[in-house]
Chain A
Amino acid sequence: MRTVYAIWKRETRAFFSAFSCGVALAAFIAAYGCTFGVLLRGNEGSVLQIQSLWGVSVALWLPVLSSILTTRLFSEERASGMIEMLMSSPVREREVVAGKFLSAFTMVVLALLVTLTVPLWILPRMSLHVQGGVSVLAFAAALLILLLQAAVWCAAGTLISLFFSNQAAAAACSLLLCCGLPAAVYFAVMAWVPALRAEMAWMPLLVHVYDFSTGLFSAGFMMLYLASAVFFLFVCSKSLACLRLRG
């Protein structure tokens, strides 16, 4: 645990001093703000609750933020040669992966908490109508599913960054995996297999956020997200071991 903490601490500090991280966070908050504003305006008087609008507008941009934040984790170390120093230290691959993953996840959690201030703190002060409708528990449920999704995106991004020494290439590949692939698979299925439309209605990740924010919990989906994150981290740890052996 000491080594995981040491790696987490260094990586988190590096995030705060990295210009690209600041730009990514600012862009994420701006994109979220715009989406949330548009959704609020478009759903005035509708039955949609504010926590669902918040959850959906964050979930849309979460894969993008996670992809950009995680690209530097290993690719920067490979480009600078620091990976050699890390690998010659008495640390296990899983400790390195855990420390790095947790640092990116910490940044995503911080970003999520910043976005939460809008519906929980700013809006109630601006509108008495909203004040009556805000439930902290409902937000906690939406936050839970967003954290699970963020864990998957961060784990996938950590794995991708291991295979590139060029950060731009890692970011592009990670974006493709986190955003492009699920969407492409879903739309392909919907387009070419009409019979599956009813069964596949649960597939869009935004629907999970909506369900959780309205109190429709699903242990199955929670396990799916957890298992996916653990799978990506496991593959990352084993790939790091292979990388060490191959040089």
Chain B
Amino acid sequence: MLEVERITFSYGRRRVVDDVSFDIAPGEIVALTGPNGAGKTTLVKVLACLLMQEAGLVRLDEVDPLMRPVKYRRLIGYLSERCPLYDEMTVDEYITYRVRLKGERNLRVRRRVSESLEMCGLGDVAAMRIRLLSQGYRKRVGLAEAVALHPRLLLLDDLLAGIDAGQRKKTAALLSAASSRSAILVTGHELHELLPWCTRFLVMSQGRLVASLRSGEHDRAELLRLLETHMAGNIAEGAEV
């Protein structure tokens, strides 16, 4: 489904993503983790068509974002790390606007909006202005917008930040359900929270992909230890450099 081949990206002379390759199959929930400054957000931005890679290839269902950007963007759902929203709009208005912007036909817009509001537990705040929402609810609005059109690939940057424990469980359940239709790439540092529902873990450090671990191949404790070892090792390596 998603193929990433030898992606490289630099901000000026500073190489932020360096020769990264991986793929994601349908139904997979992949966690992209690593220390701060590892290049996770930049990589997600490249995959979300917000940055153009210097080298390498991205393909989603054989669609190349550089050749057919509009078609590619129609296949993805993206939740930004900062989760920006239009504060003056109500939740319902915002999701409706975003669904229309994604080119959904008028007859289906209402149904899509209702579905995504219900899926993300936003029914009770649908008529509320976004500026009045807490950080957790804002994340849910961003998520509702990302999943609204059942995209083929969901890119969720720092999804769990600012969400309380109860909501994290609900989010995990939501994403497990969404994975039947979409491949999911989620970034974050919350290994304990990600372990139960992610099928694969990619560890990045200093722009490079340093480990790829499947949850089915290790028991949870061992996987956690391996991930922590990789991350700690790379933090130490980064400090030495």
Contacts and interface: CB of A to CB of B under 8 A. Distances in A.
Nearest to B52: A245
Interface stretch (A78-86, A114-122, A174-182, A230-238): A78-86
Interface stretch (B23-31, B99-107, B162-170): B99-107
Interface stretch (A1-9, A28-36, A60-68): A1-9
A244 B50 contact: yes
Contact of B84 (A14, A81, A91): A81
A10 interface: yes
Interface string B18-57: 0000000000000000000000000001001111100000
A190 interface: no
Contacts of B97: 6, 10
B73 interface: yes
Interface string A69-109: 00000000000111011111111100000000000000000
The A interface is mostly helix, strand or loop, or mixed, namely helix
Given A7-B101, A10-B97, A82-B84, A88 B50 contact: yes
Interface stretch (B75-83, B206-214, B215-223, B229-237): B75-83
Interface string B93-134: 000011011110010000000000000000000000000000
A101 to B, nearest CB: 17
Contact of B70 (A17, A86, A91): A91
Contacts of B48: 88
Nearest to B85: A82
A240 B177 CA distance: 36
A247 interface: yes
Given A2-B103, A6-B101, A85 B80 contact: yes
Nearest to B49: A88
A140 to B, nearest CB: 35
A244 B101 CA distance: 18
B145 to A, nearest CB: 8
B6 interface: no
Contacts of B50: 84, 87-88, 244, 247
Contacts of A6: 97, 100-101
B15 interface: no
Interface string B182-221: 0000000000000000000000000000000000000000
A3 B73 CA distance: 14
Interface string A3-46: 10011001000100100000000000000000000000000000
Interface of A: 2-3, 6-7, 10, 14, 17, 80-82, 84-92, 244-245, 247
Interface of B: 11, 45, 48-52, 70-71, 73-74, 76, 78, 80, 82, 84-86, 88-89, 97-98, 100-103, 106, 145
22 contacts: A3-B100, A3-B103, A6-B101, A7-B101, A17-B88, A80-B84, A81-B84, A82-B84, A82-B86, A84-B80, A84-B82, A86-B101, A87-B50, A88-B76, A88-B78, A88-B80, A89-B73, A90-B71, A90-B102, A91-B70, A245-B52, A247-B51
Given A14-B88, A84-B84, A88-B80, 19 more contacts: A2-B103, A3-B103, A6-B100, A14-B86, A80-B84, A82-B84, A82-B86, A84-B45, A85-B78, A87-B50, A88-B50, A88-B78, A89-B73, A90-B71, A90-B103, A91-B73, A245-B51, A247-B11, A247-B45
